Structure 1
């Protein structure tokens, strides 16, 4: 009886090997234990039809599929992970993924997709991660994501988006991170992000946004991290940022020349603000973000005179860490802002300020001034020059 059982087991194993050998496409390698199929760099023009039905992970990177037809994966309904990077895919037809109700990860990066249609992702009801980086997406049709109710992360970086229309991401009821970096975005519709009640992280860096879209961003009640760096903004006005749960805001490598002292007054939980590598020469103490712990001013042309004293004193009282260094006057050049004592931030004569700060020679020697009078006059000069 024992011998018969052992023989039966050996027979079953042998038959399984034969079945695996018969179902594994000749261009691919298959692992029956892990239920994975790998067909990388085989110049395939269509999805192999002999893949085992119970396959869980399918890797089709570096092929030449060009178009995904309806029912392209109907023979592999149990897939949980599908990789289609670098397959020269131009279009995903309606119903291409309709049978993949168990798929949790789909990678379509480095293809040539230009439009996301309403039916493109039908059937992916369990999907949690969708990567569309490095495509040519320039348009998101209404309802493109309505079937992706469980999606946590959507990556659309390195595409050609110029505008995000109203309700573009409707249906993403569990989204946590939306990545729109490195597009050509110059405008966002007021309702572009409406419905994203679970979104906690938004990346909009490396785009062409020239102002902060206050109305659009206020529709994001749960966002804690917002990256707007590398956009050509020059000014942030009063109450520009109205995001009640925001804790980290990145506005570095922009063109900011001025910032209202109340620009962040409606972001009460903000704790980290990055304003590095802008064009700020002065900054008023900020009103509103009472949880602020770190203010990064590295790479700004900060002129450390009496006009910076209120900010330095504010940071000391609030225990805010200031990052950055002075570019002038000469005796404070390269001095870390955090280590400069408020009393060292003073204004000298009107002629000296104009000479050192604006590199202009005084036309006549100015009589001695009191510090208060000097501050008033220099302030008037700055307003005239602005």
Structure 2
């Protein structure tokens, strides 16, 4: 069959395949501008102008225009009537011309970020009724005329974060599900009648007044309020206003957000709440954290202030908590570390514990096992840690065995003792003495973390390459992770006097080494500076470790006695061998003299 006939038979098949192909995968049939990258109907460009687009393109993005595009005008928009998604980022826009966006009737997603737009007027979004998502983040918007968004009847997501807005715009679309006004200058919150709203972010603002009547947001699941010198009362935060609330974040500036006792009781009663964040808040007591029936899973509390003194025996229970973050709140850290497990924090479901910037000095292993037995991640960064063998040595051990992950380990450093100041906890040598195992037969090495001076007694005049220099003082100035071995001498050169003197010296050294870093009283199980708390818990003393030095000295003494006895036996054996050799030599000399005499007599 001729090739032309075969092609004629295949053309219908190719036509069917092309008609069934996903347009997103068929990028070859769209014309892509030279300065752009195209993937199917999506064109991503960089440059100083908007290039001609294929009329079949549905998504267009322009980033980092140079020279900048100052005004988005109808001239730019007239060739974009086929777009569904438009993204203009860092292109230098300062103004959106009225009616320009209306030239794109199919537009559903509009992102204009990192520009310098200062105002939005009534005609900005005219004829954009199909718009569903609008993001104007990181501009310099200061003025929004009332009714600017009223014509956007299908708008569900509106983000105006990181601008300079001083008040909420009026006539917001009633079908909004997300409203993000984070990082603005809003001072007052009116009553919002947005019955479809799910997420409301008003954090990092200057809120000082909030309308208490917010019963129009029955579907709200996430709420974030940020401001200074305003009060969160029981009339604002309650199950009636927010029956489906899952995440609550309260953020205050100076002097802080006041949370009344009634509001705290209402928060405890919200069975739908899963996440609670309190930043720079003022509470009357810690009763807010006594929730035996709570389903709270994530709790973050920073810069917390307590208005009245709370008894240390207050019950604090969070049975379902997974993430417990008290970074910057030494008050809660004090309660966690010092309240007995049977009376306070017993976090059986906890997997992540963060206590950064809480003035924590030590954290005992037994305390962790009793308060949070299933912990997987721990953060103790930016704390004045006392790195001792009996305080924090279990943490590097857990990390090496993959039992624990230490968060912020580069900032988890020792503050004391002085020779470990600034050393990361995971690399510091905390235990100065290493004892031999059952299989070890050699003399154990002794690690000197500080400068130690000792004198070796004088020895006999015999020379040996392994003997210490007579009347010499040795000084160890090695770092904590350096191992120093004691000088040795040969077995056959030891005398009974030397053995006794050396044994006494080594025993004294072992006892002195065992007392290194234990000159002061041992720290408590949990030493925390609780900030504004009064009467912190008394530290619990530990049993002294002097018997470790005695045991080390006794072990060295036994080894040296065995070596000395072996040397004496060996020397006695060598003397008997020397006498025998001398006797043999005398007999051989006598036989030789007799033979000489006989040979002389024969000659004569």
1:221 matched to 2:222? The reply is no
Task: Say which structure is richer in helix.
Answer: 2
The answer for the alignment partner of 1:187 in structure 2 is: 188
Q: If the length of structure 1 is used for normalisation, what is the TM-score?
A: 0.68
Go from structure 1 to structure 2 and tell me whether the alpha carbon gap of 1:258 and 1:130 turns closer, same or farther (over 3 Å shift): closer
The answer for the alignment partner of 1:240 in structure 2 is: 236
The answer for the alignment partner of 1:35 in structure 2 is: 41
Go from structure 1 to structure 2 and tell me whether the alpha carbon gap of 1:20 and 1:166 turns closer, same or farther (over 3 Å shift): closer
Go from structure 1 to structure 2 and tell me whether the alpha carbon gap of 1:285 and 1:35 turns closer, same or farther (over 3 Å shift): closer
Q: If the length of structure 2 is used for normalisation, what is the TM-score?
A: 0.46
Go from structure 1 to structure 2 and tell me whether the alpha carbon gap of 1:81 and 1:5 turns closer, same or farther (over 3 Å shift): farther
1:56 matched to 2:55? The reply is no
1:300 matched to 2:296? The reply is no
Q: Deviations over 1:153-175 (max 9, x none)?
A: 211111000111442x1x352x2
Go from structure 1 to structure 2 and tell me whether the alpha carbon gap of 1:148 and 1:55 turns closer, same or farther (over 3 Å shift): same
Shift of residue 285, structure 1, vs aligned partner: 4.8
- Structure 1 contact 159–182 (Cα < 8 Å) conserved: yes
Query: What is the CA–CA distance in structure 1 between the aligned matches of 2:41 and 2:265, rounded to whole Å?
Result: 54
| Structure 2 counterpart SS, 1:262 | helix
Equivalence map 1:85-124=2 (5 Å): 85-124=89-128
Shift of residue 357, structure 1, vs aligned partner: 5.7
1:2 matched to 2:8? The reply is no
Query: What is the CA–CA distance in structure 2 between the aligned matches of 1:78 and 1:337, rounded to whole Å?
Result: 66
Q: Deviations over 1:163-208 (max 9, x none)?
A: 11442x1x352x2211100011112333xx33x2211001111111
Q: Please point out which of 191, 200, 207 is paired with 1:202.
A: 200
Equivalence map 1:1-386=2 (5 Å): 2=5, 5=8, 25=33, 28-29=35-36, 31=38, 34-40=40-46, 42-44=47-49, 47-48=50-51, 50-63=52-65, 64-70=68-74, 72-167=76-171, 169=172, 171-173=173-175, 175-190=176-191, 193-194=192-193, 196-215=194-213, 217-229=214-226, 231-233=227-229, 235-241=231-237, 242-252=241-251, 254=253, 255-256=255-256, 258-263=258-263, 268=270, 269-280=272-283, 282-285=285-288, 293=296, 296-301=300-305, 307=311, 309=313, 312-313=314-315, 315-316=316-317, 319=319, 321=321, 324=326, 327=330, 333=334, 335-336=336-337, 341-342=342-343
Shift of residue 39, structure 1, vs aligned partner: 2.8
- Structure 1 contact 303–327 (Cα < 8 Å) conserved: no
- Structure 1 contact 271–289 (Cα < 8 Å) conserved: no
Q: Where does structure 1 lack aligned partners over 5 or more consecutive residues?
A: 345-355, 361-386
- Structure 1 contact 208–232 (Cα < 8 Å) conserved: yes
Q: Where does structure 2 lack aligned partners over 5 or more consecutive residues?
A: 19-26, 346-530, 536-604
Q: How many residues align?
A: 322
| Structure 1 counterpart SS, 2:77 | coil
Query: What is the CA–CA distance in structure 1 between the aligned matches of 2:28 and 2:309, rounded to whole Å?
Result: 82
Q: Deviations over 1:264-316 (max 9, x none)?
A: 6667444433224434472345899986525544542569975465xx43x54
Shift of residue 3, structure 1, vs aligned partner: 6.2
Q: RCO (CA 8 Å, sep 6+): is it higher in 1 or 2?
A: 1
- Structure 1 contact 304–328 (Cα < 8 Å) conserved: no
Shift of residue 333, structure 1, vs aligned partner: 3.6
The answer for the alignment partner of 1:366 in structure 2 is: none
Larger radius of gyration: 2
Q: Deviations over 1:31-89 (max 9, x none)?
A: 4x71333331x222xx44x3222221212222222111236323232212211111211
- Structure 1 contact 261–287 (Cα < 8 Å) conserved: no
- Structure 1 contact 264–288 (Cα < 8 Å) conserved: no
Q: Deviations over 1:226-263 (max 9, x none)?
A: 0124x224532332323232221111454447422212
| Structure 1 counterpart SS, 2:86 | strand
The answer for the alignment partner of 1:372 in structure 2 is: none
**Structure 1 vs Structure 2 CA RMSD:** 4.2
Query: What is the CA–CA distance in structure 2 between the aligned matches of 1:343 and 1:18, rounded to whole Å?
Result: 66
Go from structure 1 to structure 2 and tell me whether the alpha carbon gap of 1:308 and 1:137 turns closer, same or farther (over 3 Å shift): farther
Shift of residue 5, structure 1, vs aligned partner: 4.2
Go from structure 1 to structure 2 and tell me whether the alpha carbon gap of 1:83 and 1:130 turns closer, same or farther (over 3 Å shift): same
Q: Deviations over 1:328-352 (max 9, x none)?
A: 79xx9463488655499xxxxxxxx
Of residues 270-279 and 94-103 in structure 1, the stretch that sits farther from structure 2 once superposed is 270-279
Go from structure 1 to structure 2 and tell me whether the alpha carbon gap of 1:290 and 1:136 turns closer, same or farther (over 3 Å shift): farther
Go from structure 1 to structure 2 and tell me whether the alpha carbon gap of 1:319 and 1:358 turns closer, same or farther (over 3 Å shift): closer
Query: What is the CA–CA distance in structure 1 between the aligned matches of 2:130 and 2:165, rounded to whole Å?
Result: 26
